Amino acid sequence: TAYIKTFQGPPHGIQVERDKLNKYGRPLLGCTIKPKLGLSAKNYGRAVYECLRGGLDFTKDDENVNSQPFMRWRDRFLFCAEALYKAQAETGEIKGHYLNATAGTCEEMMKRAIFARELGVPIVMHDYLTGGFTANTSLAHYCRDNGLLLHIHRAMHAVIDRQKNHGMHFRVLAKALRLSGGDHIHAGTVVGKLEGEREITLGFVDLLRDDFVEQDRSRGI
């Protein structure tokens, strides 16, 4: 317990996020922009606007959306911010888009996070396994200090947690992220196309939210 308390944990958490968005008493609704690769920054921003204007709270970059020749990260950030503010003005609601700040170096990652903050967007995203725990913790500290929400993508987790005869269970990876810092993380799904069974996914949710989790074999605990 003493060791765990040396970590700051999530930059903000559930209640602060709801306060920032002024949305209470219901789930937050979002989607990932598709196709994940191939759109220009302008067309990508248009898709973000249409989704947010249509009623979503959030849209997000896919984990592969980084800084490719057809859509450089700075252009994407600018067009997404424009879409965000336009949708907010027309709906009167606070909206967000998870801008992927993951990069090849910590310095480049921080440059992207700083640019996102300068644009005034509420949230950024990081692939914590491909980026690494040191990079993730640095970003989490920056987000806490500067009022940015931090969404965590678990890209590469299957290489570590899906095989039965080696690796590390996702419960352990999720707990490690809880220490490193992130306001929310992909944990599978109870409905839809993503990987995950209902009870196991709810077990991940309990594990990340509760101080103490009782044994529940149906939820893998």
Please give the C-alpha separations between residue 43 and each of 18, 67, 94, 109, in angstroms, as whole numbers: 29, 15, 22, 24
In terms of DSSP H, where are the helices of the chain? 14-21, 41-53, 73-91, 106-119, 128-131, 133-146, 157-161, 170-180, 198-209
Q: What is the pLDDT of residue 159?
A: 87
Arithmetic mean of pLDDT, 57-65: 94
Tell whether the model's pLDDT for residue 106 goes beyond 80. yes
Residues with active-site annotation: 34, 153
Q: What is the pLDDT of residue 193?
A: 64
pLDDT digits (tens, 9 = 90+) for 121-176: 999 999 999 999 999 999 999 999 999 999 999 988 888 888 888 899 888 999 99
CATH second-level architecture of 4-172+180-186? Alpha-Beta Barrel (3.20)
Write out the two tokens for 32: 């990932």
Helix 170-180, helix 133-146: angle, nearest 10: 40
Tell whether the model's pLDDT for residue 191 goes beyond 80. no
**Greater model confidence, 207 or 25:** 25
Domain ranges of the chain: 4-172+180-186, 188-221
151 and 114 Cβ atoms separated by less than 8 Å:
no
Q: What is the pLDDT of residue 195?
A: 67
Nearest alpha carbon to residue 33 among 18, 43, 22: 43
Where do we find the tokens 């968005």?
A: 21
Phi-psi region of 10 (alpha: psi -120 to 50; beta: other; left: phi over 0): beta
**Greater model confidence, 172 or 197:** 172
Measure the N-to-C terminal CA separation of the chain; round to a whole number of Å: 20
